Amino acid sequence: MLAEIKTLTPILERPLTAPYYRPIGEEVALFEAAARQRLPVLLKGPTGCGKTRFVEYMAWKLGRPLATVACHDDLTTADLVGRYLIVGEETVWLDGPLTAAVRMGAICYLDEIVEARKDTTVVIHPLADSRRLLAVDKRGELIPAPAEFMLVISYNPGYQSVLKEIKPSTRQRFVAIEFDYPAADIEAEIVATEGGVDVECARKLVKLAELTRNLKGAGLDEGASTRLLVHAAQLIAAGIAPQTAATAAVARALSDEPDMSETLDDLVRAVFG
């Protein structure tokens, strides 16, 4: 019966050029070791601190294709594993990104895993322990993962909702690598490189980020991420005045509340005014 149905598998590309990634601690060595030992990896850290970039970089470094899935609350098992489609008269099976990654021996990166529906995590469990199996229930198929397949998930522990917590049974299957915003010098280097501004300007943006991070929990859910700094830098590189750029890309991006906006403006002024 399986043989009758045509199976479509999307082709996952191998990255050709090295993405820019500035290592911060021992994350590269850890990831490589995990890959060698066929262990799944959990990347933990606040938004915009370089998790996605890191996975892209590691995929390139290990020479493996990468399938990235941004999880959301409507993501079903079928979205990950695959589904039947009707093409003309014929029923075909289309592999989901997870199945494709297993077949090809790729890295599958599930971004923001807690956003996904609870039942989707069930399908990754057998893949994330020593069985390394993907069960495609709809086809009654069990696919053993090749050595090169690697499961990577990310998780931002900053969420406050009770529902957005990773279950211990999931968490304990993964090697966890913790990310945080890098130390000031390194972060400035990243912002300068990614944003195309000089280090002096990048340093100021990093200083601003530090100030906003001090407000975490006291009006802000999160301080400015490296990503926001890169955005501000890119605006500056495009000819926008630094204060205007920082206001638009950092201050306005962090809060809509009038009181908080006012304070963020004060901080922008303290650095760029």
Partner 1 sequence: MSARRLFAHELEEALDRVLYASPSHRSIERLALLLEPLSRAQQDLVLHWAGVAAQTYAEIGYLIASLAPQVFARLDERDFAAWVIHGLDTYDKQGLRPAMEVLRDFEGFLAAKEGRAFARFEEVEARLSRLIQGLSGRPLSLRIGPYPYTDTETIFLPERIGQYAAHADNRRLYQALAVRLWAQARFGTYRADLTHALSQYADRELACQWLCCLEAMRLESCIARELPGMARELARLRSPWPDELACAARDLQADDADISVSLRWLARLMEKNVLPPPLTGLGVLAPELAQRVRDARIEKDTEILRRALMQSLTPGERKARMTTQIDAQRGVVEIRIDGEAVWLAPEAQEAAQSLIQDLGELPPELLAPAGPAEGKLPQPRQRLAEPERIEERRADFYYDEWDYLRQAYRRGWCHVYETEGKAGTGDFVRETKKRHAARIRQLKKKFEAIRGEDRLLGRQLEGEEIDLDAHIEALHDRKSGAEPSARLFARRQRNERSFAAMFLIDMSGSTKGWVNDCEREALVMLCEALEALGDAYAIYGFSGWTRTRCDLYRIKSYSERYDEAIARRIDGIEAKDYTRMGVAIRHVTRLLAAQPAKHKLLVLLTDGRPDDFGDEYRGVYGVEDTRRALLEARRQGVRSFCVTIDRAGQEYLKHMMGPAAYVILDDARKLPLKIAEIYRRLTV
Q: Is residue 22 part of the contact set for ligand ATP (CB under 6 A)?
A: yes
Q: Is residue 79 part of the contact set for ligand ATP (CB under 6 A)?
A: no
Q: Is residue 259 part of the contact set for partner 1 (CB under 8 A)?
A: yes
Q: Is residue 260 part of the contact set for partner 1 (CB under 8 A)?
A: yes
Footprint of ligand ATP on 128-187 (CB under 6 A):
156
Considering only 14, 36, 84, 137, the residue that binds partner 1 (CB under 8 A) is 84
CA dist 161 and 2 (Å) reads: 43
| Burial (CB count within 10 angstroms: exposed 0-12, middle 13-18, buried 19+), residue 152 | buried
Please state the closest distance from residue 182 (CB atom) to ligand ATP, in A. 6
Per-residue binding letters, 146-175, with partner 1 (x by CB under 8 A): --------------xxxx------------
Q: Is residue 99 part of the contact set for partner 1 (CB under 8 A)?
A: no
Q: Is residue 68 part of the contact set for Mg ion (CB under 5 A)?
A: no
If one counts every other C-beta atom within 10 angstroms of the C-beta of residue 52, the result is 17
**Residue ranges that bind partner 1, judged by CB under 8 A:** 1, 4-5, 78, 83-86, 91, 138, 160-163, 183-185, 204, 207, 210-212, 214-215, 217-219, 243, 259-260, 262-263, 266-273
**Residue ranges that bind ligand ATP, judged by CB under 6 A:** 20-22, 24, 45, 47-53, 111, 156, 190, 194, 226-227, 230
**Residue ranges that bind Mg ion, judged by CB under 5 A:** 52, 111
